[in-house]
A and B are shown apart, each in its own frame.
Chain A
Amino acid sequence: MDHLTSEYLARLVDEAPTPDEARHLAECEACTAELDGLREQTRSLGSLPELMPPVGDWAVLEAQLRSEGLVRDPSLFQRLGLAQTPQWMKAAAAIMLFLSGTGTGALVASNPSSSLPDVAQLTEVEDAASAVRVAEQGYVTAVARYRELLAEDGGENADADPISRFAALEHLVMVSQAAVRQAPSDPFLNGFLASAMAERDAALRMVSANRDNWF
């Protein structure tokens, strides 16, 4: 029998040989070596690594995605890792952010120890910007508190201290009261204040219940 052609041998990489082919391979070292080489080549192809795209590839892609409207920037909540925040808390944070510009005075008034200036009273742009930055820091601190609350809401931190939760909600009530002082007739703000107070009262009841259990 003549040697097997390379194409026949290529088939034998993943198919069984016919009896004739098997007999030939058993006797022919050249064909056996060629088949081994083809098997090794196939194995090597299957092990080829992934390839890194060229540098700058993402920037080009991102621009294209944006031009097609397929990408939107993360919201402030997502940037702060608060994508799962309940709607009522988002509303609270939005109010606080809004107040950081116009209502800083009210917030400061609720905290006599603070030395924050009233943004509305500032005339220099730099001073106003600085005050807003300080207010924003306060905002970030507040949302960090909300995050702790969320962990408890989601059961991620079942052992969280109910007193801390109550304290955070108390802070939320205080902030929303400041908002209502800014706009006493706003139904949304009043509704939010009522929700925050209800949450706080529920937390208080939880604290009381836990205290009763201690004795």
Chain B
Amino acid sequence: MINDSMGMTERQLIGLAADGDARAIRSLYDRYAPRVYAVVRRIAGDDDLAQDYAQEAWIRAIRALPTFRGDARFSTWLHRIAVNAALQALRKAETRKKREGPAPVDVAIAPTHQDSLLQKQLEKALDGLPEGMRRVIILHDVEGYTHEEIGDVLGVTAGTSKSQLFKARAKMRVTLAGLAGAVQEHGAEAWTI
């Protein structure tokens, strides 16, 4: 049983937050904001978009709190809402972009917080992946979703998810090697079985 600074269990907090209690909502936010922000930031590939998507995720979650029955862990439930909010927002943005014509590619910068060189390189390599690959590798390798779950979330088959994942891993490997200053493209010689 986890108690927060208000001396309440998570279940009590959720109950109060569902009633709109500002302190309870703040307490849940303090506990889960880094997790929510991390997943939407990586899916968005951009800091500004990430903040908007995270806000959207929280609003959806607070709005849906009265329907949270506790069948899954709250963190899992919230995480799924965050992923869906980010993906949906990206889809909307893509549709808008298509309608408005080509725009300059916004390559995200590395996160501004203090972190290791490896972490920065990983984040940068993730940001540089094509959208489809990035979503799959984030959901699978970073967030631990199965291919079936990814299929449900992204509306693709598990096979497509796998195929995108393997491409993404290979592409990241090349990108990371480049970032590390030692380009060793393993597949450069058209290696096949």
Determine the distance from Cα of A46 to Cα of B143 in the docked complex, in whole angstroms: 7
A9 touching B170 by the CB < 8 A rule? yes
A172–chain B nearest beta-carbon distance, Å: 25
User: With an 8 A cutoff between CB atoms, is A16 at the interface?
Assistant: no
User: With an 8 A cutoff between CB atoms, is B122 at the interface?
Assistant: yes
The B-contacting residues of A in range 45-92, CB under 8 angstroms, are 45-46, 48-54, 57-58, 60-62, 64-65, 68-74, 78, 83
Q: What 10 A-B pairs come out closest when comparing CB atoms?
A: A3-B191, A6-B170, A50-B34, A10-B169, A10-B166, A53-B37, A45-B141, A51-B38, A72-B20, A6-B187
Can you name the residue of chain B whose Cβ is closest to the Cβ of A53?
B37
Q: How large is the interface on B (under 10, 10 to 19, 20 to 34, 35 or more residues)?
A: 35 or more
Give the residues in chain A near B26, CB-CB below 8 Å.
Answer: 58, 62
A10 touching B33 by the CB < 8 A rule? no
Give the residues in chain A near B190, CB-CB below 8 Å.
Answer: 2, 5
B29, B113, B189, B193: the one within 8 Å of A61 (CB) = B29
User: With an 8 A cutoff between CB atoms, is A41 at the interface?
Assistant: yes
Give the residues in chain B near A9, CB-CB below 8 Å.
Answer: 170, 186
Give the residues in chain A near B14, CB-CB below 8 Å.
Answer: none
A8, A21, A41: the one within 8 Å of B173 (CB) = A41
Determine the distance from Cα of A47 to Cα of B51 in the docked complex, in whole angstroms: 22
User: With an 8 A cutoff between CB atoms, is B124 at the interface?
Assistant: no
Determine the distance from Cα of A41 to Cα of B166 in the docked complex, in whole angstroms: 12
User: With an 8 A cutoff between CB atoms, is B150 at the interface?
Assistant: no
B38 touching A5 by the CB < 8 A rule? no
A53 touching B62 by the CB < 8 A rule? no
B159–chain A nearest beta-carbon distance, Å: 12
A49-B119, A72-B20 as given contacts; A34 in contact with B58, CB under 8 Å? no
- Could you give, for residues 55-98 of chain B, a 1 whenever the CB lies within 8 Å of some chain A CB and a 0 otherwise? 10011001100000000000000000000000000000000000
B170 touching A54 by the CB < 8 A rule? no
A11-B162, A44-B118, A50-B37 as given contacts; A2 in contact with B192, CB under 8 Å? yes
